[in-house]
Amino acid sequence: MKTIQVVQGDITTIAADAVVNAANTTLMGGGGVDGAIHRAAGPALYAACEKFGGCPTGEARITSGFNLPAKYIIHTPGPIWHGGDHDEEQLLANSYRNSLALADEYGCRTVAFPSISTGVYSFPLDRAAQIAIRAMRAFLRSASHVEEVTMVCFDPTTARAYQRALNNSRNVNLN
């Protein structure tokens, strides 16, 4: 059975096959969840990321999980919100889709995401949640290995937004 779930918590503690990092295009670390992942994974992660020479917005790169409980870390720079007419929605969907594709390619069964772009990058939360859930549902239909996707939200407001988007997408499917 393929499932999507929403939990509140710290993604650095999640023992999924892959956890996703809301990175920037340098892939060289930063604040927010990116900073937390780099601190918890240890300095070897920085060295592994350096080899990529950056990553365009919406694409994804994979490394080992190093000191994290996760086996892999998938790094994706989400879009910076510039008002909505700079392809932000498409680019955010790409971040989810490309991260899931990489996880699937590496044989991951369980994948955990943070709320990409809704922190420092200011993407409106409810819109981001809808896009994320839609991308996950679409991907799971044809996934070979990924079976369980978890949204790991740091705060209750974010968790509620993704839970709402998940519930709404279920209602849509029933019609």
Chain contacts with ligand AR6 (rule: CB under 6 A)? 10-12, 22-24, 30-34, 36, 78, 114-121, 152, 154-155, 158
Would you say 78 and 89 are in contact if contact means Cβ atoms under 8 Å apart? no
* Backbone angle region of 84, left / alpha / beta, with phi > 0 → left and psi within -120 to 50 → alpha: left
CB 114, min distance to ligand AR6, A: 4
- In the complex with ligand AR6, which residue's Cβ is closer, 81 or 145? 81
Nearer to ligand AR6, 92 or 143 (CB): 92
Residue 34 a catalytic site member: yes
Nearest distance from residue 153's CB to ligand AR6, in Å? 6
Q: Which of 10, 17, 34, 155 is catalytic?
A: 34
| C-alpha–C-alpha distance, residues 13 and 84, integer Å | 33
| Rounded distance between C-alpha atoms, residue 150 and residue 17, angstroms | 11
What tokens does 101 get? 């594709």
| Residues recognised as catalytic | 34
